Chain A
Amino acid sequence: MPLPTSRFWSLTLKEIRQILKNRQIIFLLLFPPTVQLLIFGLALNPAVDHLSLGIVDYGNSPSSREFVAALVANDVFEVQSFQPSVGALGQQVRRGQVSTGLVIPPDFGDRLAAGKSVDVQVLIDGVDANTAGIAGGYMQQIINSYGQNLARGSGMRPEVPVEVSAQFLYNPGLLSSWFFVPGVIGVVLTLTGSLVSSTTVIREKDTGTLEQLLMTPAQGWEILGAKIAPLFVVLMGDVLLASAIARLVFGLPFRGNYFLFLALSGVYVFVCISIGILLATISRTQQQVVLTSFFFNVPLIQLSGAIAPIESMPAFFRTLSFFDPLRHYVTIARSLILKGVGIGALLPEVFTLVAFAVLLLGISVNRFRAQLN
């Protein structure tokens, strides 16, 4: 490996100047990552609470009103409207105005007072299958424990021989942004990194300045190295920007070693740059880059577990996700930011990520050099 020559540095300087002069690239480096982090962090929220509840209370007695009050006590359900009849309630569920409905029969209070059992009807909008399942579970739990308390007589503590005491580690407040933001840092790096690096490479191809570079005495590796080095620097700037937003806006704890996080993010930045160069070598024009980038980025993001959980995927896609470098970066980011583990707990992910970086960089450099000749 020859030492960096003055030629390499002048090429690097030329690239840096080009990036700094191109206001569009500066914009792409700053604006989309910020907006993406904010939108992802705020909008992705799987919580099942404040579900709108429509009620038909045929009983209309103190006991039925007490029952309704108990149902909405812990904010999972929220009374949206009282309806005069089952028909009207059905209309509301059908039009999606309420997502759950409860029908209390006319003899609710009388039967309970007489010590008989009473049936209530629960309607759940099943369009959102996952939410419907969780809502149904909550509904049954709340109604059962309310009923059990009634049966034992009020005031008595429920007697449970085995109790589960649950303790949430790493994210005790169960904030959904804490879960999503570390993964989204990876998503943002993928989108921005591949976009910026493919744009800078393909533009030289498009405008023909690449041929001019080839006519200079510069070696292939010098041209490419001088392209990659400034990209690496500006994308590390994006890592700093993203972690600043994560820390200041979302209050993420960053429990692990921050320099380890930076170093491993650097490895992932190489993956992103390689993908960008690969895109640029596959496509002939900038328009094709726009389309082919979807081919790479959509599966990369979807299989990474940054947006939807990996465990719930079918077995085939769970296996496929191991071949997704972003998946390993997301695991690393979550572990370092939330769990605060050392590198010892992350060895498999770190090795895989480094392997991906080396492999992808090798492939993209080779393809790029093949095109140079």
Chain B
Amino acid sequence: MKRVFSQCLKELNQFRRDRLTVALAFVLPLAVLLIYGFAIRLEAKNIPLAVQDFDNSFLSRTYVERLFATQQFVPTPLEGTTPTAALDRGDAKATVVIPPDFERRIKSHKPVTVQALIDGTDVNNARVIQNSLRATTQFFLRSSGLVPAQAASPIQPHLRIWFNPGRREALYIVPGIFGVILWVFPSMLASIALVREKEQGTIVQVYASDLSAVEWLLGKELAYVIVGLGEALVVMLVATLLFNLRFRGDPTTLIVGTVIYLGAAVAFGLLVGARAGNQTGAVQGTAIAGFLTALLLSGFIYRIENIPFPLSLVSNIIPARYFIDITRDAFVRGTGWIGVWYAPLAIALIGGFFFRVATRVLHRMQFKD
């Protein structure tokens, strides 16, 4: 045990002396927090919409005004002759074409068709555009008295949005960022530390000593979990101040979860470092791989249920997925242990597996034959 602690102290001292790495270890997570926290917004807004109004009557102008009354669409001029030209150039995401007899047909109670050409490239946007064009048209009809009020539905839905009634997107994104940051950086630092020992040959001295692989790795594990805790503290503190996050209820899930998650991340880094030979390129490749899986297969951006079958199995062994359950619960949902009891267990299981494999790779503490 004492040897593990002295390993850990030696590692921390070495880390502290490399000023650039220390700076990057704390600046990079903050940079990622700021970029993701401010720049990822999924709700479709400011969609450029072009209108070709062949009627140019009172009713058609009212209709166009209605379309832009919500903040969802911004008008964009329709240059060129065809309605698709603006879509081709990407100046508009949709073009609405109002036929010349728009007002006349409405007044004579004949149905009118308004054509909407929607850029289907961005699938999510396309659906949102279609839905809100329909909804706005309904609203236009009711507000201009073109549809009798008695057609109202007898069933009245009362919507209640739980946990995040203002639908602030930061509450969804920022707890997810914790999962990405606290996976990528601690694991990267740990794997770099291990590869450095191989590159500089200091690992041979460890081989020659009577230190066992488990003791040596545990020392490193402990050291980088401590560094990771420092990162977690800084990132969460800045995030709560900048994005106005608050604890909902029991903070022990977050504390326990963070420690276990950092343990798993560092164990993953050690495993990568142990396997990588002395090539940093491999470490970088794995860092990207860890980053992408934490980003894509954890439900950080889009719903985890949308991941199709063979890949959804992989997402089950991504620890970030479980940690994000914990952070979203701690900062938004607030159920506590009843809601997320499984998450620390799953992370511990996966992390334990990583550590076990890492010690097996190094267990002989000898050069490879």
Task: Please list the residues of chain A having a beta carbon within 8 angstroms of any beta carbon in chain B.
Answer: 24-25, 28, 32, 35-36, 39-40, 42-48, 50, 67, 93-96, 112, 115-134, 136-141, 143-148, 150-152, 160-172, 174-176, 178-179, 191, 195, 199, 285-295, 298-299, 302-303, 307-309, 311-314, 316-317, 331, 334-335, 338-339, 341, 345
Contacts and interface: CB of A to CB of B under 8 A. Distances in A.
Interface string B107-124: 001011111111111111
Interface stretch (B126-134, B213-221, B346-354): B126-134
A167 B116 contact: yes
B358 interface: no
Given A94-B333, A302-B39, A67 B155 contact: yes
B147 A175 contact: no
Contact of B21 (A162, A176, A291): A291
A169 B94 CA distance: 9
Nearest to A131: B303
Nearest to B125: A309
A46 B42 contact: yes
A157 B141 CA distance: 17
B241 interface: no
Contacts of B106: 161-162
Interface string B76-119: 00000000100111100100000000000010010111111111
B231 interface: no
A24 B301 CA distance: 32
A145 B134 CA distance: 12
Interface residues on B, range: 35 or more
Contact of A46 (B115, B123, B338): B123
A47 B306 contact: yes
Contact of A162 (B39, B141, B338): B141
Interface stretch (B204-212, B222-230, B254-262, B277-285): B277-285
A129 B120 contact: no
Contacts of B1: none
Contacts of A316: 38
Nearest to B325: A96
B157 A140 contact: yes
Contacts of B338: 95
A176 B291 CA distance: 22
Given A309-B125, A341-B88, A43 B32 contact: no
Given A126-B161, A148-B151, A43 B118 contact: no
Interface stretch (B5-13, B165-173, B232-240, B361-369): B165-173
B158 interface: yes
A133 B333 CA distance: 17
Contact of B35 (A43, A292, A298): A298
Nearest to A52: B305
A338 B122 CA distance: 11
Contact of B169 (A40, A121, A130, A175): A130
Nearest to B175: A127
8 contacts: A122-B160, A151-B153, A165-B113, A167-B117, A171-B126, A308-B41, A338-B121, A339-B87
B124 A137 contact: no
Nearest to B153: A147
A116 B154 contact: yes
Given A118-B154, A312-B46, 16 more contacts: A39-B292, A40-B296, A45-B303, A45-B308, A124-B161, A126-B161, A127-B332, A161-B146, A162-B141, A163-B112, A166-B118, A199-B284, A295-B24, A308-B301, A309-B124, A312-B41
B162 interface: yes
Interface string B45-57: 1111000000000
A345 B85 CA distance: 9
Contact of A179 (B121, B169, B339): B121
Contacts of B42: 46, 129-130, 308-309, 312
Contacts of A116: 154
A44 B296 contact: yes
